[in-house]
Copies of this chain bind each other. A is one copy, B any other.
Amino acid sequence: MTKIGFIGLGIMGGPMAANLVKAGFDVTGYNRSRAKVDRLVEAGGRDADSVADAVRDADVVVTMLPDSPDVEAVVLGEDGVLAHAKPGTLLVDCSTIRPDVSRAIAERMRALDAPVSGGEQGAIEGSLSIMVGGGAEDFAAARPVLDAVGSTVVHVGEAGAGQTVKAANQLIVAGTIELVAESLVFLEAHGVDTEAAIKVLSGGLAGNRVLDRKAAAMVRREFTPGFRVELHHKDLGIVQAAAREAGVAIPLGAAVAQLMAALNAQGHGGLDHGALLKLVAQLSGREEV
């Protein structure tokens, strides 16, 4: 039975680790807050007291951490994965981080970058979309692990490519939310029935998942996350840095990054990213922030 060391048992990592247990893997988990480790044990996993402890006997290490510095510390730090895993252990990093950090890690150990989309619900249901960068053989080796947590698992290129596609994903999602927000406030201001409008907009080339899944809540001003503004703000920092590195112009990406940064600066980092609608309404003099 494949032994998995799992680091990072938060909102996303917790249910992912549980799904790996359910799929028959032998999962040992570590998290800074002990309560989350206990939940994994309840689900049938084993507990570890440190990263070293979690990865020592693992065939595959899965990491699900907030940001680039966290991954660097956990993987490359003194007490980290590289220092304590067996030679040849495969790292599957599901965090959303900078592509250059993923590439730097892949130069030090066998590693795939495998960021996910689909949110908490996708993590619970095991229906995440996973965009994987790294070698073809490593992808093949990790496939059973990835299939246990995701339903759309695609190998998109070499090391870092998974992060690059995730960056593109976050660019499109932020931009689409903003376009829908501008449209909804525009329709409200013109006194149009937004429910009917959402229906007909969804039927044509304007159709998108944000209209399908989020527009109704945005109209109702319900912004319980879902995916938090502060995380999307972080991700748009990655998008801009990666675009700058590649010399690619992203005028709409840069514009929506400013709006997400504003929402975050206004203290709304904890709201769902659909709260871009609040900002459009504020800029249109239609409500306070």
Contacts and interface: CB of A to CB of B under 8 A. Distances in A.
Interface of A: 99, 117-119, 122, 129-131, 151-152, 154-158, 160-161, 164-165, 167-169, 171-173, 175-176, 178-180, 182-183, 185-187, 189-193, 196-197, 199-201, 203-210, 213-214, 237, 240, 242-244, 246-259, 261-262, 264-267, 280, 282-286, 288-289
Nearest to A156: B196
B156 A200 contact: yes
A243 B280 CA distance: 12
Contacts of A122: 204
A251 B251 contact: yes
A214 B207 CA distance: 13
Contacts of A267: 285
Contacts of A246: 186, 189-190, 284
A240 B117 CA distance: 27
A20 B80 CA distance: 51
A192 B190 CA distance: 39
Contacts of A197: 131, 154, 156, 165, 168
Given A152-B199, A192-B161, A249-B284, A183 B171 contact: yes
Given A204-B169, A265-B284, A252 B156 contact: no
Given A129-B203, A255-B255, A208 B176 contact: yes
A247 B264 contact: yes
